Amino acid sequence: MQHVFWDWKAHYSDEPVETVFDAMIAEFLLLSGSYVGSEEATIAHHKVSNLNELVEKQRALLAAAPRLQEYFQTIELPIIPVLKQMEKNGIILDVAELRSVSAEIDAALATLTETMKQEVGFEINLNSSVQVGTFLAEKLQVPLKKTKTGKYATNEAEISQHAENVPFIQKLLEYRELSKLRSTYIESLASAVAADGRIHTTYSQVVASTGRLSSSNPNLQNIPASTGFGQKIKSCFKAAPGKILVSFDYSQQELRILAHLSKEDALLTAFQEQKDVHTTTAAQIFHVAYTEVTREQRMIAKTINFGVIYGMSSFGLSTQLHIPVEAAQKFISEFYKTYPKIRSYYDTFLKNGVETGFVETILGRRRFVFEHASQKTIDNALRRVLINYPIQGSAADLMKKVMITIHHEVVTKNPECRLLLQIHDDLVFEVPDDAKFLEKFIPEVRAHMCRVYPLDVPIEVDVKYGTNWGEMKKL
């Protein structure tokens, strides 16, 4: 018997996956990740009268794209029961501890605000971009660009370029970060705790065009861990008594996928010989021995490595590294001299995309090159999106694939084990704090993740554990 749904996860019951057809997911794939309207709007768009007729039309369209059809049946549908179980599991949030962190943030904000206002010398609204922009440009003589409306630009990308030389900007960026933590995370997290003391986030498959899962109500994939307070917020998420949290995080997965797709010899060798790929890149672009690379040189190389994945321009790199555009362009040029096959891979990938009308991930998820018939050429913005698609999209494919495997081969066979969270390249489980159990569980999950797909380079997984999410020790 065939079970037809518009959003199976929202109306979930335990039908066998092979008997289900989710028209919402199918439409998102057929639209190559573009926005999916309501069920009624989609039915009207396809000029059919009901959901069953829509499904018949979608079946025919998928049949004409065998790889996409297989992706739908083997990845997008089977991941739904996994996500539904994760949402049901939830993760414990210690609200009392969160309120304590909130009080610390409030105190830090009050101190910072007073310091900044004393530095200004007159009353200023630190949340007003107009007042802040005027003070920076006209009082501190910071050469800010102007927006189309004629106001000074005070977005992070603009002002961070001057942070090193302007202490007030350093404080302003800290002020904004703390304000965001309080409004976006503290307030929303505390109100999202269910009666069981857990937060039950909602995962969606129809938001990110690359196929990445997104999290909402609240978003648990975007809690900043780079700041001290961000780490403290994460520490409020805890394992149940007698349990611990175990995190399995793919190591440099997107760079490994780039090496696999581009067949770049130097990158393949670095991963195969288990060298640090950022140090390898730094040695090449700075023309120094691998053993002589400095911490700063490695940091620059790391920014370039990941920047290339996202199609970063010389302007974007200059903003991130706080260096002139010319210097950034020189670094990018050196990168492509070091890894020439990456450039040729991208060129061929884009050429094929223009010819076929779409680009694909490793497992066959598609994205249209041009979204409108009037488009004929690939501009810089579109180029960045297309370059990123097979890398980030393939990483998302493989993570979904291994989640399905782990759900069937590990979780369902161990009722005391729960998969709680997916944060892109990272899976977080709640399991018994039992040495004998962990001795079997950790190698088993790690093996499934490392064997998910035969890349030309070894796949590596970092494992951490702890009683809370913010303070986990590396295994």
What are the chain's domains? 8-90 (no CATH), 92-199+207-216 (1.20.1060.10), 255-363+376-386 (1.10.150.20)
Using a 10 angstrom Cβ sphere, with 0-12 exposed, 13-18 middle and 19 or more buried, the burial of residue 134 is middle
CB atoms closer than 10 angstroms to residue 343? 15
State the average pLDDT over residues 128-134: 93
Residue 338 near residue 266 (C-beta atoms within 8 A): yes
Scanning the structure block, which residue is given the tokens 């102007």?
Answer: 146
Residue 200 near residue 86 (C-beta atoms within 8 A): no
Residue 183 binned pLDDT confidence (cut-offs 50, 70, 90): confident
Please give the residue that has the higher pLDDT: either 33 or 472.
472
Looking at the DSSP bridge assignments, the partners of residue 198 are 92
Residue 454 binned pLDDT confidence (cut-offs 50, 70, 90): very high
Amino acid in position 215: S
* Average pLDDT across the chain, whole number: 93
Q: Report pLDDT digits (tens) over 392-417.
A: 999 999 999 999 999 999 999 999 99
Looking at the DSSP bridge assignments, the partners of residue 384 are none
State the average pLDDT over residues 18-47: 94
- What is the rounded CA–CA span in Å between residue 360 and residue 465? 35
- What is the rounded CA–CA span in Å between residue 151 and residue 133? 8
pTM: 0.91
- What is the rounded CA–CA span in Å between residue 271 and residue 326? 30
Which of 84-88, 119-123, 170-174 is most confident?
A: 84-88
Token output for 101: 């962190």
Q: Report pLDDT digits (tens) over 279-292.
A: 999 999 999 999 99
Residue 429 near residue 445 (C-beta atoms within 8 A): yes
Q: What is the pLDDT of residue 327?
A: 87
Q: Report pLDDT digits (tens) over 209-256.
A: 999 999 999 999 988 777 789 899 999 999 999 999 999 999 999 999
Is the pLDDT score of 1 beyond 70?
no
